[in-house]
Amino acid sequence: MTRPGQRLIVAQGGEGGLGNASIGRDVRLSKGNRQEEVARLSTGQPGTESFLVLELKSIADVGLVGLPNAGKSTLLSALSRARPEIADYAFTTLRPNIGSLTYDDYLSVKVADIPGLIKGAHENRGLGHAFLRHIERTKVLSYVLDLAATLNGRKGIPPWEQLRDLVVELEHYQEGMTKRPSLIVANKIDEEGADAMYEELKGRVQGVPIFPVCAILQEGVPDLRVGLRDLMDASDRQGVDLSKIIVD
Q: What is the pLDDT of residues 35-72, one digit of tens each?
A: 666 666 777 888 898 888 877 766 789 999 998 888 88
Least confident of 10-19, 101-110, 111-120: 111-120
What does the alpha-carbon distance between residue 164 and residue 82 come to, in Å, rounded to a whole number? 29
138 lies in the same domain as 20: no
Examine the domain organization and report whether 28 and 138 are in the same domain.
Answer: no
Task: Looking at the structure, tell me whether residues 92 and 19 fall in a common domain.
Answer: no
Same domain, 96 and 44: no
Q: How confident is the model at residue 89 (pLDDT cuts 50, 70, 90)?
A: very low
For residues 107 and 142, state if they share a domain. Answer: yes
What is the reported pLDDT for 33? 66
CATH number at residue 73: 3.40.50.300
Q: Which residues contact 167 (CB under 8 A, 6 or more apart)?
A: 178, 240, 242, 245
pLDDT at 212: 97
Rounded to the nearest 5°, which phi and psi values hold at 245? Answer: -110, 115
Query: Is residue 61 a contact partner of residue 80, using CB atoms and an 8 Å limit?
Result: no
Contacts of residue 170, Cβ cutoff 8 Å, sequence gap at least 6: 65, 122, 132, 135, 141, 177, 178
Average pLDDT of the residues in 134-158: 90
Q: Are 142 and 31 in the same domain?
A: no
Q: Is the dihedral of CA 36, 37, 40, 41 positive or negative?
A: negative
Helix (H) or strand (E) holding 163: helix 159-173
Query: Measuring CA to CA, which residue among 79, 215, 69 is closest to residue 146?
Result: 69
Let me know whether 14 and 69 are in one domain. no
Quote the pTM value: 0.74
Considering only residues 56 and 159, tell me which one the structure prediction assigns the higher pLDDT.
159
Highest mean pLDDT among 90-94, 96-100, 130-134, 244-248: 244-248
- List the domain range (segments joined by +) for residue 35: 1-54
* Range name among 11-20, 44-53, 127-136 with the lowest pLDDT average: 127-136
Residue 116 and residue 8 share a domain? no
Domain co-membership, 68 together with 150: yes
pLDDT number for residue 154:
87
Residue 92, burial from CB neighbour count under 10 angstroms (0-12, 13-18, 19+): middle
Q: What percentage of the chain reaches a pLDDT higher than 70?
A: 79
Does the structure show a pLDDT above 70 at 32? no
Alpha-carbon span 179 to 176, nearest angstrom: 5
When divided into structural domains, the chain yields a total of: 2
How far apart CA 176 and CA 129 sit, in angstroms, is: 17
Instruction: Please tell me whether residues 110 and 133 are part of one structural domain.
Output: yes
Report the mean per-residue pLDDT for the chain. Answer: 83
The whole-number average pLDDT for the span 172-196 is 93
Q: Given this model, what pLDDT does residue 126 score?
A: 47
Per-residue model confidence (pLDDT) at position 128: 47
Q: Are residues 110 and 157 in the same domain?
A: yes
pLDDT at 27 > cutoff 60: no
CB 247 within 8 A of CB 160: yes
Distance of alpha carbon 204 from alpha carbon 247, whole angstroms: 7
Mean pLDDT of 161-167: 94
pLDDT at position 191 = 94
CA distance 117 to 94: 11
**Contact indicator for 228, 142 with CB cutoff of 8 Å:** yes
